[in-house]
A = this chain, B = another copy of it.
C-alpha cells in the first residue's frame, strides 16, 4: 500500500513516517508544499532509520503529487492548514483514496490547553466537509505524543481511536494503524463522534503539565 503523509515534514508526520517504514512494508510518500523540503525530510528519516531496518522505501513529493500516488492520504498538517491542504489535493483524491486526519484544534491559556473545534464540530468533520463527496474520510492518530512517536527508541504501548462513516475505509485504517508496533487501534464510531476523540489531545497535554514524570503521556482504553 502507498501511504502519503501530507505535511510529512512536521512532527506527527515524522513519527508516522519512521514507524510505518520500520514496522510495515508499505511505501511512504512524504508530502510538503515545498518538494525540496520533503526530500530533505526523507534524507533525515533515512538516516534515523539506518539502525532500525534494512528496507527503507520513502520518497519526497509536493503534497498534490504525494496524494495522487497514494492509497491512503494522511493530512498531518497543523489544524489551521487542514482546509487549505484538502482543497489543494482535492483533484488528486477519489473514492479509492482514504483520507485520514489526525489534526486537533486547541487554544491555550495560562491553565493549559483547551479543545477548540471549528464550526464543523471537529477538525475531522471539517476535513469531511472540504473533501470531495466521494472521498472516504477517517479520523485517526489524534492523541499520540509526537515526541514519543518520532523517537524509535521509545516502545509504544498506546491506543489510537478511529472514527469514520465509511466502514471499508475505517477497517483499512484500523488495520493499518494496528500494524505499528505497540499501537492498538479501536473503533469509536462515526465521524459525529470525532469531537470527543479530538478532546483527548488537549487533555493528555494538560495531564503531562500537571503531573510529574508524565511527559509524552498517552492513553490506553482498558
Contacts and interface: CB of A to CB of B under 8 A. Distances in A.
B188 A207 contact: yes
Contacts of A190: 111
Contact of A196 (B189, B206, B209, B214): B206
A144 to B, nearest CB: 12
Given A158-B222, A220-B220, A220-B222, A111 B192 contact: yes
B210 A189 contact: yes
A193 B111 contact: yes
A191 to B, nearest CB: 9
Contacts of A187: 207, 210-211
A183 interface: no
Interface stretch (A49-57, A62-70, A127-135, A197-205): A197-205
Interface in A146-172: 157-158, 161
Interface residues of A, number: 35
Contacts of A211: 186-187
B186 A207 contact: yes
A199 B204 CA distance: 13
A121 B203 CA distance: 15
6 contacts: A115-B195, A186-B214, A188-B207, A193-B203, A196-B199, A219-B222
Interface of A: 109, 111-112, 114-115, 157-158, 161, 186-190, 192-193, 195-197, 199-200, 202-204, 206-207, 209-211, 214, 217-222
